[in-house]
Amino acid sequence: MALVEVKVPDIGDFKDVAVIELLVKPGDAVQVDQSLITVESDKASMEIPSSHAGVVRELKVQLGDKVSEGSVVALLETEAQASAAAPASVGGQPAPAAPAPAVVTPQVAVAPVLPVSASAPASLATVAVPAPPPPATAAVPAAAPSVPAAAAAHDPTRPPLGLPHASPSVRKVARELGVPLAEVRGTGPKGRITLEDVQAFTRAVMAGEVQTRAQAAKAPAAPAAGDGAALGLIPWPTVDFAKFGPIERRELSRIKKISGANLMRNAAMIPAVTNHDDADVTELEAFRVQLNEEHAKSGVKVTMLAFLVKACVAALQKFPEFNSSLDMASGGDALIYKRYWNIGFAADTPNGLVVPVIKSADQKGILQISREMAELAAKAREGKLAPADMSGATFTISSLGGIGGRYFTPIINAPEVAILGVCKSRWEPVWNGKEFTPRLMLPLSLTWDHRVIDGAAAARFNAYLAQLLADFRRILL
Ligand code: COA
């Protein structure tokens, strides 16, 4: 019998990382490689494995402690012979025989920088990182090669990025039980999915209180009712429409099915608020008409939307949180500010709504934006948009200006945090302090994520936007 200190091995660039989970307690028998604790930096979480087999005499760390390479995690009682590695000389005890080579594989969950694609929200991903071999002595861990997490993330043999935030041991249990982690709500720190969450989810599914998406998809009747049940809502009403008159059933288009699922998630998950305002675009419209006359032969038609794109970029630069995304990989407690301004615009197509993106709109003029917009809208209507045409937006404009309406409440295109809805401008009598004068007023509806943006900031954003549209020269200031 010998006492061995288990220490944090070489974990690459991770220093002073917080202990977020204790996976064993004193008295537990542990095997070589068995995870003892989970640590987490702002970028990744990692389980620290035991270098020896034995019984935990004492845990040397507590939740919240900061550890680095070499920090003692636990004191183990080992059978010198049974140990897979050589225990250290602790308290003057002689060091036993040389270690058997062991491959230890700590699991690292890497938080990638939030992808800019609206269709690919970021989350933690688990990748296996080869661990250092067990230390030659517990007191002085042998130098061991470590693999940077980023490099490991590119290993095609490892699980893909985009997995939910859970420790590798929880993932393992979920895999064994067939629990879809993406559907489990995490109650741990920063939304981390705990073992209890997986167990509670399993119990709820077994009790028929919750359906997994796979079950709902297979269910012949009313998948919407299943989704509502998952949200704790009463079932969707079932009506035999044919009882009241002739009916025809048409399958939703592929785009509608995809966008519907996205809209549902965004509407359900984002605490969204909408501010309405009006911009006096009398002079801007006159300028737009003049530009179109001047460029009649170029084939480029300048639309109000192009000016809106440019004005929005200026407003996003003045109010950068509108051009940010919540860092969901860290449980949504940080913002990722994007230093590029890519503006998506909703385009109505025969098959449904799509959102092509004007990239680097800050670096483009009105004519170029108008040209690109016309090209993208044409591609959208022909169903020829490539995924790259629709990814990378930092803010979206949905314009119904060519159709009509007064105001509406657009749904935010996650992971963006705001969207501008625009309706048809119309002539209105506006009081200028002395008299009513006819002015062309453009209705603006700004929907924003209240987790990120306050009402006052939204009102300022709208007011600034209206100011720019009323006098476009201000964009130069
Ligand atoms: N006020 C008054 N007139 C407007 C206007 C506004 N805010 N915006 C556009 N118009 C006019 C245009 O000047 C054009 O007039 P013209 O034919 O006399 O030149 C006409 O309306 C049609 O404009 P449109 O072809 O729609 O161009 P656009 O640049 O404004 O919009 C798209 C391009 C692709 C965004 C648009 O065609 C579209 O698909 N809009 C629907 C978006 C949508 O469905 N949003 C809802 C999502 S929930």
Query: For residue 174, what is the domain's CATH number?
Result: 4.10.320.10
For the stretch 266-311, pLDDT in tens is 999 999 999 999 999 999 999 999 999 998 888 899 999 999 999 9
**Domain ends where: 66, 84, 102?**
84
Nearest to 3 by CA among 76, 95, 59: 76
Element of type H or E holding 66: strand 66-67
Residue 61 Cβ < 6 Å to ligand 1: no
Give the pLDDT of residue 115.
Answer: 25
The pLDDT averaged over each successive group of 10 residues in the chain (477 residues) is 88 80 90 85 72 93 90 88 39 37 35 28 28 34 31 32 64 79 81 83 74 66 55 91 96 90 94 97 98 90 97 98 96 95 96 94 97 96 93 97 96 98 98 97 98 97 98 92
* Token pair for 376: 């993208």
CATH number, domain containing residue 434 = 3.30.559.10
Distance 303 CA to ligand 1 centre (A): 8
Indicate whether 354 and 409 sit together in one domain: yes
Predicted TM-score (pTM) of this structure: 0.59
Name the DSSP letter for residue 125.
E
**Within this chain, do residues 75 and 144 fall inside the same structural domain, yes or no?**
no
CA 23 to CA 167: how far, in whole Å? 10
Structure-token pair, residue 217: 């998809």
Q: Which of 313, 319, 335 is nearest to 122 (CA)?
A: 335
Q: What is the DSSP code (8-state) at residue 119? A: T
- 342 within domain boundaries: yes
Q: Is 234 domain-assigned?
A: no
The minimum-distance atom of ligand 1 relative to the CA of 423 is 7
Q: Are residues 281 and 207 in the same domain?
A: no
Are 333 and 471 contained in the same domain? yes
Q: How far is the CA of 300 from the centre of ligand 1 (A)?
A: 15
pLDDT for the residue 172? 74
209 with 265, same domain?
A: no
CB distance 425 to ligand 1 below 6 Å = yes
Q: Is the domain of 266 the same as that of 400?
A: yes
Q: Give the list of residues 6+ apart from residue 65 with CB closer than 8 angstroms, or none.
A: 18, 19
CA distance 203 to 116: 36
Distance 363 CA to ligand 1 centre (A): 23
Residues 282 and 350 in one domain: yes
CA–CA dist 305, 314 (Å, integer): 14
User: Is 228 a domain residue?
Assistant: no
Q: What is the CATH number of the domain that holds 23?
A: 2.40.50.100
Query: How is residue 207 written in tokens?
Result: 């009790």
Residue 207 confidence (pLDDT)? 66
Q: Count structural domains, the chain.
A: 3
- Domain-located, residue 373: yes
| pLDDT on residue 48 | 87
| Same domain for 135 and 64 | no
- 361/441 same-domain check: yes
Last residue of a domain, one of 218, 235, 268: 218
Q: Kindly give the residue spans of alpha helices, DSSP state H, lying in 270-386.
A: 282-294, 304-318, 366-381
User: Do 119 and 80 share a structural domain?
Assistant: no
Question: What is the predicted pLDDT for the residue at 97?
Answer: 37
Cβ neighbours around 389 below 10 Å, total: 17
Q: Could you list the residue range(s) of the whole structural domain that residue 206 is in?
A: 115-218
Enumerate helices (H) and strands (E) in the chain, giving the number of each. 10, 21
The HSE-up count of residue 273 (CA atoms within 13 Å, CB side) is: 12
Residue 386 domain-assigned (yes or no): yes
Alpha-carbon span 406 to 400, nearest angstrom: 9
Map residue 242 onto helix, strand or coil. helix
Question: Is 185 within a domain?
Answer: yes
| Ligand 1 atom nearest residue 380's Cα | 34
Cα–Cα dist 445/437, whole Å: 24
Residue 238 covered by a domain: no
For ligand 1, atom 10, which residue shows the shortest CA distance? 402
pLDDT recorded at residue 144: 31
Q: Does residue 190 sit in the same domain as residue 335? A: no
What DSSP element (H or E) covers 440? Answer: strand 436-449
In this predicted structure, what is the pLDDT of residue 265?
94
Neighbouring C-beta atoms of residue 89, cutoff 10 Å: 18
Q: Please tell me whether residues 337 and 467 are part of one structural domain.
A: yes
